[in-house]
Amino acid sequence: MATRNIVHDDDEDAVILKKQSKEVRVFDENLWQLLDDMWDTMYENDGVGLAAVQVGVLKKVIIADINEMRLECVNPKLIFEEGQTCEKEGCLSVVGKYDYVNRPYKVTVEAQDRRGMPFVITVVKDMARCLCHEIDHTNGILFIDKIAPNPNENNNEDKEWKLYF
């Protein structure tokens, strides 16, 4: 396993972050190596989620680790969403920028594991936010494309914690 370079929005090759990722059709050692490298890269950079495009690979592959729940999703599709929450997010590809984004409170995602076996998972709160953020990456969307007004503007309760995807 190894760490890979994260593509940042101000890099020369940042255009890749705005591209649509391609569906994975081959589930082999190359995919497994990519996933293993993504885990190392994410943890090395104190993240909780990462999409393959963020390490320069245009494949629909995402990972997430929220509250010790580790998920690998290949070819993820959001198939259901419910509720709404507005929280502050950050991104490993957008260094130093944190802002509020509206996301569903609960989502159901259909995906495949590293061996191609299909699964469906329903998650809430932070994991739902993370999966939506990473699925957006596979569609060429960054969180800064979805900034929402601060929901705490009127009561001066700006939360200090941030999630880094």
Tell me the pLDDT tens digit for each residue of 20-71: 999 999 999 999 999 999 999 999 999 999 999 999 999 999 999 999 999 9
Give the 3-state secondary structure of 87-100. Answer: EEEEECCEEEEEEE
Q: Is the pLDDT of residue 159 over 70?
A: no
C-alpha atoms less than 13 angstroms from C-alpha of 154 in its C-beta half-sphere: 1
Active site residue 160: no
Average pLDDT over residues 1-30: 96
Q: Which of 44, 72, 134, 153 is catalytic?
A: 134
Per-residue pLDDT at 134: 98
Per-residue pLDDT at 152: 79
Q: What percent of the chain has pLDDT over 90?
A: 89
Average pLDDT over residues 1-29: 96
Tell me the pLDDT tens digit for each residue of 91-130: 999 999 999 999 999 999 999 999 999 999 999 999 999 9
| Cα 113 from Cα 20, distance rounded (Å) | 20
Per-residue pLDDT at 160: 52
Please, what's the b/e burial string for 134-149 (b: 16 or more CB within 10 A of its CB; e: otherwise)?
Answer: bbbbbebbbbeebeee
Q: At which residue do the structure tokens 């999966």 appear? A: 131
Q: Residue 66: in which H helix or E strand, if any?
A: strand 61-66
- Top-tier CATH class for 14-164: alpha beta
Q: Is the pLDDT of residue 78 over 60?
A: yes
For the chain, the average pLDDT equals: 94
Q: Is the pLDDT of residue 80 over 60?
A: yes
User: Can you give the pTM of this predicted structure?
Assistant: 0.92
